[in-house]
A and B are shown apart, each in its own frame.
Chain A
Amino acid sequence: MRVLIMAKEGNQSGAATPPTPEAMAEYQKFDEELVKAGVVLEAGRLHPSSQGKRVRFDGKKRTVIDGPFAEAKELVAGYWLWQVRSIDEALEWLKRAPYEGGTFEVREVAEYEGM
């Protein structure tokens, strides 16, 4: 199955504090481990929500809203698309990530019926 991991780091409305070189090295190591295990299909980081837009639909009306957005803790800062055998496997991988804070949401991608 495929799962989408969304990193909700908070404090993404403005410029994020850059991580220390040590922390970056840790993230990179974890990323490499995932790639080596054949788990990562795709990964990406998003620019801060101050550069983002929202389009609100209301009947025929469309309203474009400029960032930054207020609900800082719910904002997606990055994502991974993983190929795993179960949600449990995704959780076991995720628990190993070297993050000190933030929330990561794990959602299964709806696909054709696998075995």
Chain B
Amino acid sequence: MTAATEAHRAIEAIWRIESARLMAGLARVVGDIGTAEELAQDALVAALEQWPTEGVPERPGAWLMSTAKHRAIDLIRRRKTLERKHEEIGRDLARDQEGLDMDKATGEEVGDDLLGLIFTACHPVLSKDARVALTLRVLGGLTTEEIARAFLLPVSTIAQRIVRAKRTLAEAHVRFAIPEGAERKARLAAVLEVIYLIFNEGFSATAGNDWVRPALCEEALRLGRILAELTPSEPEVHGVVALMEIQASRLRARVGPSGEPVLLLDQDRAHWDRLLIRRGLAALERAERLGGALGPYALQAAIAACHARAATAAETDWMRIVALYDAVAQLAPSPVVELNRAVAVGMAFGPGAGLDLVDALVGEPSLKSYHLLPAVRGDLLRKLGRSKEARAEFERAASLTENLRERELLQKRAAECAAERMEQVSDSD
């Protein structure tokens, strides 16, 4: 490996480590994340120019920060000649300059900056897609290309989303800040939603040929773990981390040898990741200790924990899962929650009871093209021996999913029902 390649690899790794803190520190000073990101990128370009020949500095984070700060001062001076009102910011900058070496900033200050960055990237003026892209970019340190690859979208689409997101934030005059009081709760919920969206796209890919994309799950988990350290007294943050850790523990077991999905109850539990389960249960306990047992994410984590604690599928405490779904339904009623509850009821009290609940959802407009409705219904019908109806449901579900692997699984179920039907017909002869 040449020295230049080595330096480039080191820069890439350093960027992953430093970029969020760098942008957060800059955003606090310049007030918006669009400018902060440009300044950070300028510093990166300078590193790419200088480090391969001059060597990687001893404290690369501090080097990047001071380079970016110099550029920030230049930029603001230039702006100042146009707009006198920026004078104050310029003065702040000059004053901050000595103290803004990141190594000197206290842990708390860095933490506050990062938190501000998370809240801004997940600001409600942005669309969900924009929040996801911006969060991965400024907090995950991912390049536009990497985000595009992870979401199976053209690079130009992601680039546009990020540009538009920054413009939207600027136009709405969103100042870089940590929300307080009543606003904080709603804004925190928006942040958790973005993190869990990223996780879920990796955990049950909605499109494409792969059933899971673990890299996205890892990014989301990392963001969640960072947030949990930044806001240790927020129960729902631990709730969402618990949910992700426990779900991620099944990633390996969720995919069969040829990439096909393996559903929860069919998974080989020996392949579950005990370390992640342990971490997840600990996070759940933290959420509960903080009085957050009934938060929407903590409840879902508690459901995931019921599965994680069961040594075999047969040992699952379905009664408790039904009770937890009852609580979820009270808190945030939705047809999807009802569907999940119906599955649990079917397991706890028999397929007939589950089917009654699912049938009540059949006319639900929001589930009209949701493939899991016919998939669940098919499953319950099959257990009741109504193979012909079950087959039609599985076929319908297969036609509704966008994921290739899931479609194959559903088609296989339909074929199995057809075979069972043949047996039933010959039995009755």
CB closest residue in chain A, given B253: A112
Contact present for B226 and A38 (CB under 8 Å): yes
Question: B214 on the interface (CB 8 Å rule)?
Answer: yes
Q: Is the CB of B223 within 8 A of A89?
A: no
- Specify which of A32, A36, A42, A111 lies most central, judged by the most chain B CB atoms within 10 Å of its CB: A36
A15 within 8 A of B: no
Give 7 CB contacts A-B under 8 Å. Answer: A36-B111, A37-B17, A38-B225, A83-B218, A85-B218, A111-B252, A114-B218
Check B343 for interface membership: any CB of A closer than 8 A. Answer: no
Q: B residues touching A (Cβ–Cβ < 8 Å)?
A: 9-10, 12-14, 16-17, 60, 107, 111, 150, 213-216, 218, 221-226, 229-230, 251-252, 255, 275, 279
Count of chain A residues near B, Cβ 8 A:
21
Which residues on the A side are within 8 Å of B215 (C-beta)? 114-115
CB contacts (< 8 Å) of B216 on chain A: these are 115
Q: Please name all residues of chain B whose beta carbon is closer than 8 Å to the beta carbon of A33 when the two chains form the complex.
A: 107
Q: Given A41-B275, A81-B275, answer yes or no on A88-B10 (Cβ-Cβ < 8 Å).
A: yes
- Within the complex, the shortest CB–CB distance from B173 to chain A, in Å, comes to 31
A86-B12, A111-B252 known; 6 other A-B pairs, CB under 8 Å?
A38-B229, A81-B275, A86-B13, A88-B13, A114-B214, A115-B214
Complex CA gap A38/B223 in Å reads 7
Chain B residues with CB under 8 Å of A81's CB are 275
Which residues of chain B are near A88, meaning CB under 8 Å?
Answer: 9-10, 12-13
Distance, CA A91 to CA B9, complexed state (A): 11
User: How far, in angstroms, from A90 to B147 measured CA to CA in the complex?
Assistant: 22
Is the CB–CB distance between B10 and A115 below 8 Å? Answer: no
Chain A residue with Cβ nearest B59? A96
When distances are taken between beta carbons in the complex, the residues of chain B under 8 Å from A35 are 229
Nearest Cβ on chain A to B267's Cβ, whole angstroms: 13
A92 CB within 8 Å of chain B: yes
- Contact A89 B16, beta carbon cutoff 8 Å: yes
CA distance A33 to B13 in the complex (A): 16
CB neighbours (8 Å) of B218 from chain A are: 83, 85, 114
Which of A32, A42, A89, A114 is in CB contact (< 8 Å) with B17? A89
Interchain nearest-CB distance for B117 vs A (Å): 14
- Chain B residues with CB under 8 Å of A99's CB are none
Most buried by A among B150, B216, B226, B279: B226
Residues of chain B within 8 A of A42, CB atoms compared: 275
**Among A37, A83, A85, A112, which residue has the most Cβ atoms of chain B within 10 A?**
A85
Rounded to whole Å, the gap between the CB of A103 and the closest CB of chain B is 20
Residue of B nearest to A41 (CB): B275
Separation of A81 and B273 alpha carbons in the complex (Å): 14
- Cα–Cα distance between A114 and B16 once the two chains are bound (Å): 18
Are A36 and B226 interface neighbours, CB within 8 A? yes
Contact B14 A83 (CB under 8 A): no
Could you say which of B17, B225, B251, B275 contacts A112, with CB atoms under 8 Å apart? B251
Q: Are B13 and A92 in contact (CB under 8 A)?
A: yes
- Per-residue B-contact encoding for A75-112, CB less than 8 Å = 1, 0 else: 00000010101101101110000000000000000011
Kindly state the separation between the CA atoms of A35 and B65 in the bound complex, as whole angstroms. 22
Q: Name the contact of A85 in the complex, choosing from B14, B16, B107, B255 (C-beta under 8 A).
A: B16
Closest residue on chain B to residue A90 by CB atoms: B13
| Inter-subunit contact B222/A38 (CB<8 Å) | yes
